[in-house]
Structure 1
Amino acid sequence: MAKKKKNAKGHNPVVATNRKVRHNYNILETYECGVVLVGTEVKSLREGKATLGDAFATIDEGEVWLRNLHIPEYSRGHWTNHSPVRVRKLLLHRREIDSLMGKVRDGNKTLIPLSLYFKEGRLKCELGLAQGKQAYDKRQDIKRRTEEREITRDLGRRIKGIKG
């Protein structure tokens, strides 16, 4: 069987991303983990339907669980459809779980899913170890991005010979 092609940039097809997380949190580390799903969830995800907005991960009794991930019911499903918001197990190596458990327990860090994507036919979750930003951190980031945008705009004008 032939492998499915990746998108134009050579990346795996992304099902969902959490765009707000990089604004509200500093991402310290990222992990790639598998997700345990039922059949209709996979079909719904292949249609590109999922919401990561409120999702987070917890470590309970040595296992990592993904909570508040919303995968809508499969449109052509029937009585075998899944519950849209249910707790799903994430698959990580034992040493990664132990490391994460220590880091989360130490203080104000949380596990947040950054994106969901298919890799070789299996759903993967990019999980980030995140630390919350304060309001002044967010303002500094916005200021830094604005300054960088203005610098690149000015450089572009100089190269084109436009005075501004």
Structure 2
Amino acid sequence: MKKSDVEPVIARNRKAAHDYQLGESWEAGIVLQGPEVKALRAGRASLVGGFAMVEDREIWLHAVHIPQYSQARWFEGGSRRKRKLLLHRAQIDKIERKVNEGGLTIVPLALYFKDGRAKVEIALARGKKTWDKRHALAEREATREVERAVSRRLKGRRD
């Protein structure tokens, strides 16, 4: 029996879609130390508040919380330390150009394992204004109400 290629998502940043207009996305490897991998395999991580920056032609992931693995010996890494992301040089250059010219930021969307390696999905994003968020919520509520009305109609109710 063949093992699944993609294991379930460890952490997802649901708030990113609410706070940002998401653009192009990439899958990047992430450099981890010591027991961080075991902590991820235990399903303990949080992407809320995380972001990435281009520094010296490398992309670094900041403020992502990976807690210390409880069975591990003493490990001095810090749960919110910055971690290097692994991408091709052309991808890094493209991301750096877009961030510098367009006022975009890089946000992590999901953290998962693929073929036994930790991966993070990052996307270019532009911050939404408050009225954009309210407008998106109103649209979502309107489509839900339409779906409910159609469902009631199909079931034969006239409410």
Please indicate the TM-score interval, normalised by the length of the shorter structure. over 0.9
Residues 6-49 of structure 1 show CA distances to partners (whole Å, capped at 9, x for unaligned) of 6xxxx631000111110000001111000011130000000000
Residues 62-109 of structure 1 show CA distances to partners (whole Å, capped at 9, x for unaligned) of 000001111110110112463211110000111110000000001321
Question: 15, 31, 35: which one pairs with 2:30?
Answer: 35
Are the counterparts in 2 of residues 16 and 48 from structure 1 also a CA contact under 8 Å?
yes
TM-score when normalising by structure 1: 0.92
The one-letter code matched in structure 1 to 2:3 is: K
Are the counterparts in 2 of residues 70 and 84 from structure 1 also a CA contact under 8 Å?
yes
Q: What pairs up with 1:97-116 in 2 under 5 angstroms?
A: 97-116=92-111
The one-letter code matched in structure 1 to 2:4 is: K
Q: Distance in 2 between matches of 1:58 and 1:36?
A: 15
TM-score when normalising by structure 2: 0.95
Structure-1 residue corresponding to 2:57: 62
**Once the 2 structures are TM-superposed, how far is the Cα of residue 139 of structure 1 from its aligned partner?**
1.1
Given the alignment of the two structures, is residue 135 of structure 1 paired with residue 134 of structure 2, yes or no?
no
| Structure 2 unaligned residues grouped into runs of 5+ | none
State how many pairs are aligned.
159
Q: Give the match's secondary structure for 1:39.
A: coil
Are the counterparts in 2 of residues 41 and 82 from structure 1 also a CA contact under 8 Å?
no
Q: What pairs up with 1:1-164 in 2 under 5 angstroms?
A: 3-5=2-4, 12-80=7-75, 82-164=77-159
| Structure 1 unaligned residues grouped into runs of 5+ | none
